[in-house]
Structure 1
Amino acid sequence: MFEHIERVPGDAILGLIEAFKKDTNPQKVDLGVGVYRDSQGNTPVMRAVKEAEARLLKNETTKTYIGSHGAPAYGEAVLPLVLGASSPVLEANRASATQSPGGTGALRLAADFVASQMPGKGIWVSDPTWPNHHGIFTSAGIKLHKYPYVDADNRLDFAGMLAALKKIPEGDVVVLHACCHNPTGFDLSNEQWQEVVEVLQDRKLLPLVDFAYQGFGEGLDEDAYGVRLLSEKLDEVIITSSCSKNFGIYCERTGCLIMVARNAEQMENVRSQVAIVARENYSNPPAHGGAIVSEILHDAELSAIWREELTEMRDRINTLRRDFVEALKPYGLDQKYACVAEQRGMFSYTGLTPEQVDRLRAEFGIYMVRSGRANVAGFSHENLPYLAKAIAMVNE
């Protein structure tokens, strides 16, 4: 029965992990896999998470199912985090939360919802975008298109993006990154978000906002500017939120699909359909990650600790961006790579060519995706001099 099945190449990023492990270079640097790392190269468990888990272990009384929409307490915690504590959208009961297995699970729910409830509509993603967007949407049977995002000089191409959005067929879905654009790190300004909203309104387009890195750009509220603007100005919005990154609970797979409808009645209609989509995908989401988030966000002391830790992580990444550019100054490359300091989030579209990336790996043990996307959290003050010298060598 299986004789006809062919072997396919593995995931490029996961392949980098294995190659990095086997590399014997004592100075090797991993800039590939997209997780936060501290100065020692570890992905730590946050203090607030440790305390929340201790409380859960002590007080937990059941392991029963939590329902297709997940634990109500999780939704009650995530909705104001994403949309704002005083959100008029929440006040009008226009938003609904469905707990999901990570942000990826939320994206799959969104894809299946669009495929079943909006048949024939296309979906538009930035060029470039997170590679898994392509697989998620096409596997749901949705026709995928691209709009420009980065130009030939490795800068945000907002003019090209806006011109493309103005030509998208009415009723299609547009995927937008709320902040910390993956893979480029180029984000829209508040003024640019205003322009995007106007185009979406005029073209009657449905935004699907991927909000995977809240808190890693400028701050929890600052990073939510576009999401909140869209939700308040438009009748319908789809938001896929992740707590896996900003709570450091990657392996717990903790996400949320937020649906915003025109009014409370329509929201209930949409919510009923999302429950069916979730039921047919995985029935019930995993409970533990959501319980951690709920415990933290519903407790003032733990919430304060978490916010402090997240600020430390964000500040470290932004500092490393500036220090990276500074480290390149002796080689006359600081202007060429100045965009790295301007970008936000864990990822940077460095502008390195695939050939330069190959040389960095082969000659220096520096690993990143061939597109030139680097995980800035893999930088450290110890490896920056080595990294800068290596980049200078491949730029000769």
Structure 2
Amino acid sequence: MFQHVAPFAGDHIVSLNEAFQRDTRPHKVNLSIGIYADENARLPTLDAVHQAELRLATARMAKPYLPMEGATNFRSAVQTLLFGARHEAVASGRVVTIQTVGSSGGLKAGAEFLRRWFAFSGVWISDPSWDNHRSLFESSRITVHTYPYYDPAGGVCFDAMLECLRTLPPRSVVLLHACCHNPTGADLSTAQWITLITMIQERQLLPFLDMAYQGFGDGVDTDAFAVRALARAGVPFLIANSFSKSMGLYGERCGALSVVCTDAQQAEHVLGQLKFTVRQSYFSPPAHGGQIVAQVLGDPLLRLSWESDLNTMRDRIRAMRVRLHAALSQRMPDADFSFLLRQRGMFSYTGLQPSQVDHLRDAHAIYLVHSGRICIPGLNANNVDAVADAICATLLL
């Protein structure tokens, strides 16, 4: 029956992580997979998350199916986190939110909704973008194109990006990273977002935002600038967000998809069709992770504790950027590594070529993805100098 089934080539990043686990070299460093690690190379459990789980365990609550759209308290908490406490779009009822299986589930649900209900010529993603963006949309039979984004000097080629997007047909879907661009770490400035939003309105484009790293750029509210500015401008758009990184809930697969509509009636219809999309896929989302999020965001003390831990994580990432930049610059004073200081969030594009990435892994036990993307939280005081030594040795080959 299954002799015709082709083998799966595997996921590059997952395969790298598995190879790292098998590597017996004691000095190995994992800079590939997008997971936050603390100074001791461990995945931390945030105190607010721990306290929320204790409350849930003590309550001994039953575990019925959630509604297709997810738990009400979770959805409300997500809207407040994304749009702020008193945003007009939420107050007027023109934002709808569903709880999803991670932000990947939100992207997929959004893609399926658009395929069925939105007449458009395809989706445009940044060059480069997270690998799974293309797969998620193509699996929904949506044509994927790219627009210029990354400048090899370490920033955004904004003029080329605008020039491309201005040529798109009206109603084209444009995937944008709300903050902490994956894989490059290069973000739009506030002024660039304002210019982009004006152009989106003029060209009648439909933004689809991915926001997996809220809080890792400049802070929870500052990182939500693009979301709130688009809603304030009256632009309809979709946004998928995740709590994997910001709360350490990787395995709970806890995310959301929100759609900002023109009015409350449109929002009601959109919510109904999103529920139908969920019904055809996984029926209803898992409960536990969403209730952790609702507890943390709904309790002022837990939220304060969460934001404090999130600030600590963000500050550590910044410190590692500074430390790596200093170490590389000391070893290669004629080279320019300033991109490490300009880029934000968990990732940086190093400019390393695939052959150099292979050399780092084989000769130095340092694991990066082939694009040269480095996961900054994989660095710590014990390994950053060794990583700098290895990178410089590789660059000088």
Structure 1 residues 333, 176: closer, same or farther in 2, change over 3 A?
A: farther
- 3-state SS, counterpart of residue 280 of structure 2: helix
- Paired residue for 2:232? 232
Distance 1:322 1:80 in 2: 33
Within 5 Å, which residues of 2 pair with 1:377-396? 377-396=377-396
Q: Is the 8 A contact 1:125 1:144 kept in 2?
A: yes
- Paired residue for 2:32? 32
Q: Is the 8 A contact 1:325 1:334 kept in 2?
A: no
Q: Percent identity?
A: 42
- Paired residue for 1:296? 296
Aligned length: 396
Deviations 1:204-225 (A, max 9, x none): 0000000111001000011000
- Paired residue for 2:347? 347
- 3-state SS, counterpart of residue 8 of structure 2: coil
Deviation at 1:8, TM superposition (A): 2.7
- Paired residue for 1:132? 132
Structure 1 residues 72, 334: closer, same or farther in 2, change over 3 A?
A: farther
Within 5 Å, which residues of 2 pair with 1:44-123? 44-123=44-123
Distance 1:321 1:315 in 2: 10
- 3-state SS, counterpart of residue 186 of structure 2: coil
Distance 1:329 1:128 in 2: 26
Task: Check if 1:328 corresponds to 2:328.
Answer: yes
Distance 1:343 1:111 in 2: 29
Structure 1 residues 300, 51: closer, same or farther in 2, change over 3 A?
A: same
Deviations 1:24-57 (A, max 9, x none): 2211100011111001111111111011000001
Distance 2:338 2:26 in 1: 28
Q: Is the 8 A contact 1:73 1:294 kept in 2?
A: yes
Q: Is the 8 A contact 2:32 2:369 kept in 1?
A: yes
Deviation at 1:335, TM superposition (A): 4.6
Deviations 1:135-158 (A, max 9, x none): 000000111100011134443211
Deviation at 1:373, TM superposition (A): 0.5
Distance 2:237 2:226 in 1: 11
Deviation at 1:121, TM superposition (A): 3.0
Deviations 1:58-82 (A, max 9, x none): 1132110111110000011110100
Amino acid at match of 2:242: S
Within 5 Å, which residues of 2 pair with 1:133-212? 133-212=133-212
Distance 2:231 2:272 in 1: 20
Distance 1:120 1:207 in 2: 12
- Paired residue for 1:284? 284
- Paired residue for 2:220? 220
Amino acid at match of 2:9: P
Q: Which segment drifts farther, 13-22 or 324-333? A: 324-333
Q: Is the 8 A contact 2:110 2:257 kept in 1?
A: yes
Q: Is the 8 A contact 1:120 1:142 kept in 2?
A: no
- Paired residue for 2:373? 373
Q: Is the 8 A contact 1:36 1:245 kept in 2?
A: yes
Distance 2:308 2:244 in 1: 17
- Paired residue for 1:275? 275
Q: Is the 8 A contact 2:329 2:336 kept in 1?
A: no
Distance 1:335 1:209 in 2: 35
Amino acid at match of 1:391: I
- 3-state SS, counterpart of residue 156 of structure 2: coil
C-alpha root-mean-square deviation of aligned residues, in Å?
Answer: 1.1
Deviation at 1:333, TM superposition (A): 5.0
Q: Is the 8 A contact 2:155 2:343 kept in 1?
A: no
Deviation at 1:116, TM superposition (A): 0.5
- Paired residue for 1:6? 6
Task: Provide structure 2 residue ranges, at least 5 long, that are not aligned to the other structure.
Answer: none
Amino acid at match of 2:58: K
> TM-score w.r.t. structure 1 length?
0.98
Distance 1:334 1:312 in 2: 33
Q: Is the 8 A contact 1:326 1:334 kept in 2?
A: no
- 3-state SS, counterpart of residue 257 of structure 2: strand
> TM-score w.r.t. structure 2 length?
0.98
Deviations 1:160-204 (A, max 9, x none): 111111011110100000000000000110000001101111110
- Paired residue for 2:252? 252
Q: Is the 8 A contact 2:149 2:161 kept in 1?
A: yes
Amino acid at match of 2:268: E
